[in-house]
Chains A and B, each alone.
Chain A
């Protein structure tokens, strides 16, 4: 019984065991399967996550830092990296009456109280005007520029209607300095007038705007030039002034100023009237500063060979007119004397002897018949006599009348005259030493050497004595031309120019200073000619910029003029 029970029990137990085993095997298999699936799922998730981390993170954070530090518009710097124009993250103060909802009062406090609190932060605001604006309920700017610290104080007033949208702004730290070179950025974000317009694409290109654009300008030289020009202009009550400092070997413009200037930080109607650039846009008859060019062309052509030869200095009757000198200089003059005393008659005779064709070709080689070569958008077309030049035209062009060019034309021509005879286009871009343009030869090197002597003699003994800065070996020529007006030339309205180069033993820089309608004042000893107003500007400027540009004053060094010095015996000093 017992055995039976036991045996059945065993058999039943065995069956159970087998079923149990099979069941647990199935469960275990299922579990293993689930577990494997889970692992696969987790590894898939992990892989996806890793992929997400790897892919998405780099795309978002790194770029955001770079983007945040990338200026919305590239910086413009001078040749030494001093910023001249930069994008400036600024806040504006905008009044939004709908900030608290469409209906109801736009402000929590009384408009007068808010206006008083605003004027406490910005003392230049008018409390009544602001209160009126706030009370009117019309949206509008209260201020275009707010500094971050002031923005915090405005937030502390606690009015939601006073919004502080962040606006990128173009800021010129040097104020109105170099305004004509830089230009400005208009409300639409487009560059205008100067290099802002020229470099517009480059300054807004995301790939390149991170790198500042370097100009050829040197801030210190530009500052000195504007300072001296302004002083000279105010001293003689002139309408305007223009100046340029040009590197003779590369054509880089170190400084370029046109006065009166405008403020690119604040464009107004008055500023807009000063936007035309006297250096590159306005053409003038520059007068006697052309005489050295004529003489250089004559030396180059072999017309002037003997510097001791005495030319007739009497009036030249030609085609019904008579060319005279401003004051009688004697019956005869040789070439150095003619330049030193700035004789119209002798230069006219030399130009006549040289002939229309050769003088015309030299002027064409110097680029006087086309707009000046510079990147700036405002470039004036010279008044160039078309066709065959008559005899009288040749003579007047010889002393700088009947042809009107920009001061930049003159500076480039003087650079070619003193640098060994190579004319190069002027540029506003900073050039690497290897990038200087090859240029074209206009004068022989020997002619250039002669002209250095002659220009040095004008500054040492002639009309340019006021520009003869001690130790800087300045050479240059004055020019005082009457302005053309209704019914011929106006005797009282002059354009005074001084075109100079220094140091003459190895010329490095050309300086041109020009004054528009200077008056005779005490400061200019009641004279209106360039010797008394434009030349002193250059004489004051060169000692200020020379050491900055690597030209050391040296009393023991000068261009050798010993072969020409005896020819001008009558000159004092």
Chain B
């Protein structure tokens, strides 16, 4: 009886202390999570503020008057004209008609194979500092097309086809 009651007492004490400890741990954990949440919220606020600042700076630097001035001095873009628009597929198709019977031959330019001109310096990415195109995974064909020589482009049909492809996009 005595032993049983002592055991029971100890059992109760153990259960009680476990509950208490659990309660304390849980409270601590809750508080920890809560402060993490508050920290995250503060970070969100800071980032949102920074976002606002950067966005406003972009808006300011690229304001309409600035863009118009740049365009006047640097770019000279003009409003599109009526003949730059296509109404329908027929007008589009009319751009790529085959040569009519008796039409003049397309002008072909003579060329000799030359080494690629190395006049242009390699462009460097402003972000990574690596040469541009180093981590590029473009297909081979595009690189070839861009390094094609002027004579090649003038003599071949590729230029026309490329222009046509761009137009139909």
Please report A residues at the B interface, Cβ cutoff 8 Å: 28, 31, 35, 38, 42, 46, 49, 53, 57, 61, 64-65, 68-69, 82-83, 86, 88-89, 147-148, 171, 173-177, 219-220, 222-224, 226-227, 470-471, 543-544, 546-547, 552-556
Which residues of chain B in 33-47 are interfacial with respect to chain A, using CB atoms and an 8 Å cutoff? 34, 37-38, 41, 44-45
- Kindly report which residue of chain A lies nearest to residue B41, judged by CB atoms: A65
B133 to nearest A CB, angstroms? 34
Q: Which residues of B contact A64 (CB under 8 A)?
A: 41
Tally A-B pairs: CB < 8 A.
94
Q: Which residues of B contact A174 (CB under 8 A)?
A: 59-60, 63-65
Q: Which residues of B contact A546 (CB under 8 A)?
A: 79
Interchain CA distance A177-B68 in the complex, whole Å: 12
30 pairs of residues in contact across A and B, judged by CB atoms under 8 Å = A28-B5, A31-B9, A35-B12, A38-B16, A42-B20, A61-B41, A65-B41, A68-B41, A69-B44, A69-B45, A69-B48, A83-B59, A89-B52, A171-B56, A174-B64, A174-B65, A219-B64, A223-B64, A223-B65, A223-B67, A224-B64, A226-B64, A227-B65, A470-B82, A471-B81, A543-B80, A543-B81, A544-B79, A553-B81, A555-B83
Q: Which residues of A contact B55 (CB under 8 A)?
A: 83
Say which residue of B9, B52, B65, B82 sits within 8 Å of A86 (CB atoms). Answer: B52
5 closest A-B pairs by beta carbon, nearest first, are A223-B64, A471-B82, A173-B59, A543-B79, A553-B82
- Kindly report which residue of chain B lies nearest to residue A542, judged by CB atoms: B79
Q: Which residues of A contact B41 (CB under 8 A)?
A: 61, 64-65, 68
The answer, yes or no, to whether B27 is at the interface (CB within 8 Å) is yes
Q: Which residues of A contact B34 (CB under 8 A)?
A: 57, 61
Which residues of chain B in 60-106 are interfacial with respect to chain A, using CB atoms and an 8 Å cutoff? 60, 63-65, 67-68, 79-83, 85, 87
Interchain CA distance A177-B64 in the complex, whole Å: 8
* B59 near A227: Cβ-Cβ < 8 Å: no
* A555 near B20: Cβ-Cβ < 8 Å: no
Q: Which residues of A contact B48 (CB under 8 A)?
A: 69
Q: Which residues of A contact B132 (CB under 8 A)?
A: none
* A470 near B81: Cβ-Cβ < 8 Å: yes
Please report B residues at the A interface, Cβ cutoff 8 Å: 5, 9, 12, 16, 19-20, 23, 27, 30, 34, 37-38, 41, 44-45, 48-49, 52-53, 55-56, 59-60, 63-65, 67-68, 79-83, 85, 87
A180 to nearest B CB, angstroms? 15
Given contacts A46-B23, A64-B41, A177-B63, whether A555 and B82 have CB atoms under 8 Å apart is yes
A347 to nearest B CB, angstroms? 34
A540 to nearest B CB, angstroms? 9
* B80 near A547: Cβ-Cβ < 8 Å: yes
Q: Which residues of B contact A224 (CB under 8 A)?
A: 64, 68
* A175 near B23: Cβ-Cβ < 8 Å: no
Q: Which residues of B contact A35 (CB under 8 A)?
A: 12, 16
Interchain CA distance A226-B66 in the complex, whole Å: 12
* B53 near A148: Cβ-Cβ < 8 Å: yes
Given contacts A69-B48, A88-B52, A175-B60, whether A554 and B65 have CB atoms under 8 Å apart is no
B53 to nearest A CB, angstroms? 7
* B65 near A173: Cβ-Cβ < 8 Å: no
Q: Which residues of B contact A57 (CB under 8 A)?
A: 34
Q: Which residues of A contact B20 (CB under 8 A)?
A: 42
Given contacts A49-B27, A547-B80, whether A173 and B63 have CB atoms under 8 Å apart is yes
Interchain CA distance A321-B7 in the complex, whole Å: 125
A470 to nearest B CB, angstroms? 6
B102 to nearest A CB, angstroms? 29
Q: Which residues of A contact B49 (CB under 8 A)?
A: 89
Interchain CA distance A313-B149 in the complex, whole Å: 70
* B64 near A222: Cβ-Cβ < 8 Å: yes
A145 to nearest B CB, angstroms? 12
Query: Which of B44, B59, B81 has most chain A Cβ within 10 Å?
Result: B59
Interchain CA distance A175-B5 in the complex, whole Å: 85
* A223 near B68: Cβ-Cβ < 8 Å: yes
Given contacts A61-B37, A68-B45, whether A175 and B65 have CB atoms under 8 Å apart is yes
- Kindly report which residue of chain B lies nearest to residue A62, judged by CB atoms: B41
Interchain CA distance A555-B86 in the complex, whole Å: 12
Q: Which residues of B contact A88 (CB under 8 A)?
A: 52-53, 56
Q: Which residues of B contact A543 (CB under 8 A)?
A: 79-81
Query: Which of B48, B55, B80 has most chain A Cβ within 10 Å?
Result: B80
Interchain CA distance A256-B45 in the complex, whole Å: 36
- Kindly report which residue of chain A lies nearest to residue B85, judged by CB atoms: A552
- Kindly report which residue of chain B lies nearest to residue A554, judged by CB atoms: B82
